[in-house]
């Protein structure tokens, strides 16, 4: 019996011409760093002529810029599939793999480029750097015999002396006070540095505190009490100070929840995290912090925090931060009515609050499952679920949100994790709210920042938006250049 083969419809000369025009328009948007419009026009080019590898590779690069690493990987793979000799496709795929922390896969693509272009110095450099990372990871695994060994146990505060010339804030009897916090913030505004002894003490104390916390923290809010939820800060210390200027310093009568991604990208991440940890120690029952996807070793190595800590302090402190982050709570429930997590919901419909409470969080985020999804997932406008644009977690629709809320008797969810032009977005018929608190993200996005205030009596979200404020001339990701050079 004969079988029919499905042939692709012929692409007209007009379509080819129009596709090239769309690509040119997309390139112009890309140059202006308007990556969303660039993606739209590359998509139009692909719709008119889906057989051109460069369209996919270019859109892959734009997706990388918007942190849609899953889409970037898919497009790069498609460009290679269309043209197995298209070197830039392999570059883009390697960059996508790097972004997802898949260094071995990235190395294979860089290796291919060096073989077909043996005289390409840039390819050799990227292959060499990526190879170093792969070997370093393998070496660390090989020597990690004692999994129970804690960096915290190796730190001797008594051996650290306070030099006479140190003029910064000092802990009082080893404790954080309000005056210490005020002095610390002033020190940081002037680009000063907290003494390493006090920095280590804060980290050791905060680790002990978080170890006693539950994975899902319940937060009661009185009827007439105000509560503030902030989204991603991403190392933008001066914008963090602006939030406190507008909304008041944290206190027992002005509680806050910071919903993950305190660090990375912005080059004042050390200042942000010690400020937040300091307030957590000062007001443990009125200041809360959720883990984000950037509170992880791979993200910190890629996007700057690891390099910043090593530059301002030590490699040992960078490792201690990883230990501390492993103990951060994954979610908070406000008045038993609103669930707050960094990323979003799940690939299963039967996840309960009790299951979240039982998650073993003291580890690096896994590639799948509820812990991963709490940190990485994103909402989508259409019903159902889809593979994540980031390559990790999932995308979930309005029906998924409603099913989860009904099952767990909740009003709505608050999450962060995504840049929004107005600093926030209300989606899924008001049941899924995104808040993002880093304005003009990476000094390029032009977005506003926002925070949410609500009262216990009605739990209705009120939004405050704001523009970015000036900061010293240190560019975002200044400490991540050695790794990010592999993604250009």
- Residues classed as catalytic: 294
Contact call for residues 467 and 273 (beta carbons, < 8 A): no
Which residue, chain included where needed, has tokens 């004042």? 268
Cα(155)–Cα(151) distance, integer angstroms: 7
C-beta atoms surrounding 121 within 10 Å: 8
Helices 69-82/87-99 angle, 10° precision: 160
The secondary element (H helix, E strand) that includes residue 385 is strand 385-387
- Number of C-beta neighbours around residue 360 at 10 A: 7
Bridge-partner residues for 464, per DSSP?
451
Torsion angle of C-alpha atoms 412, 415, 418, 419, degrees rounded to 10:
80
* Nearest one of 112, 81, 67, 82 to 94, comparing CA atoms: 112
**230 neighbors 434 (Cβ within 8 angstroms):** no
Q: Is 31 exposed, middle or buried (0-12, 13-18, 19+ CB in 10 A)?
A: exposed
Nearest to 379 by CA among 348, 415, 349, 328: 415
């Amino acid at each position: 019996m004969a079988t029919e083969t499905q042939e692709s419809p012929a692409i007209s000369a007009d379509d080819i011409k129009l596709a090239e025009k769309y690509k040119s328009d997309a390139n112009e948007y890309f140059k202006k760093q308007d990556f969303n419009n660039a993606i739209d026009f590359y998509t139009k080019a692909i719709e008119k002529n889906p057989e051109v590898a460069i369209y996919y590779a270019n859109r892959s690069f734009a997706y990388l810029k918007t942190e849609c690493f899953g889409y970037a990987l898919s497009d790069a793979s498609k460009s290679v599939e269309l043209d197995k000799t298209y070197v830039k496709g392999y570059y883009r795929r390697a960059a996508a793999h790097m972004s997802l922390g898949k260094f071995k896969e990235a190395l294979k693509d860089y290796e291919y480029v060096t073989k077909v272009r043996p005289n390409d110095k840039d390819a050799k450099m990227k292959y060499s750097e990526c190879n170093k990372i792969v070997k370093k990871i393998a070496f660390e695994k090989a020597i990690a015999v004692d999994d129970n060994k804690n960096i915290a146990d190796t730190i001797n505060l008594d051996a650290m002396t306070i030099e006479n010339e140190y003029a910064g804030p000092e802990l009082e009897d080893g404790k954080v006070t309000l005056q210490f916090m005020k002095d610390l913030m002033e020190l940081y505004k002037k680009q000063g540095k907290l003494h390493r002894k006090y920095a280590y003490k804060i980290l050791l104390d905060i680790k002990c505190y978080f170890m006693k916390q539950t994975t899902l923290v319940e937060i009661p809010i009185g009827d007439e009490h105000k509560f503030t939820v902030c989204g991603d800060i991403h190392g933008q210390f001066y914008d963090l100070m602006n939030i406190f200027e507008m909304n008041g310093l944290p206190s027992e009568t002005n509680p806050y929840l910071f919903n993950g991604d305190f660090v990375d990208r912005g080059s004042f991440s050390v200042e942000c995290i010690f400020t937040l940890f300091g307030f957590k120690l000062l007001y443990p029952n009125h200041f809360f912090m959720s883990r984000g996807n950037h509170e992880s070793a791979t993200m910190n190595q890629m996007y700057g925090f690891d390099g910043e800590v090593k530059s301002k302090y030590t490699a040992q402190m960078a490792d201690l931060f990883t230990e501390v982050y492993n103990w951060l709570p994954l979610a908070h429930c406000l008045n038993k009515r609103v669930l707050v997590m960094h990323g979003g919901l799940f690939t299963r419909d039967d996840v309960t609050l009790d299951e979240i409470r039982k998650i073993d969080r003291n580890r690096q985020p896994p590639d799948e499952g509820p812990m991963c999804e709490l940190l990485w997932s994103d909402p989508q406008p259409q019903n159902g679920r889809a593979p994540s644009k980031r390559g990790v977690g999932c995308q979930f629709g309005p029906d998924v949100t409603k099913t989860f809320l009904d099952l767990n008797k909740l009003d709505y969810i608050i999450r962060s994790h995504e840049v929004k032009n107005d600093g926030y977005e209300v989606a899924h018929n008001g049941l899924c709210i995104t808040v993002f608190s880093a304005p003009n993200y990476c000094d390029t996005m032009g977005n506003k920042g926002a925070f949410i205030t609500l009262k216990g009596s009605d739990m209705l979200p009120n939004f405050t938006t704001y523009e970015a404020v000036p900061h010293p001339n240190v560019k975002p990701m200044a400490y991540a250049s050695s790794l990010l050079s592999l993604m250009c």
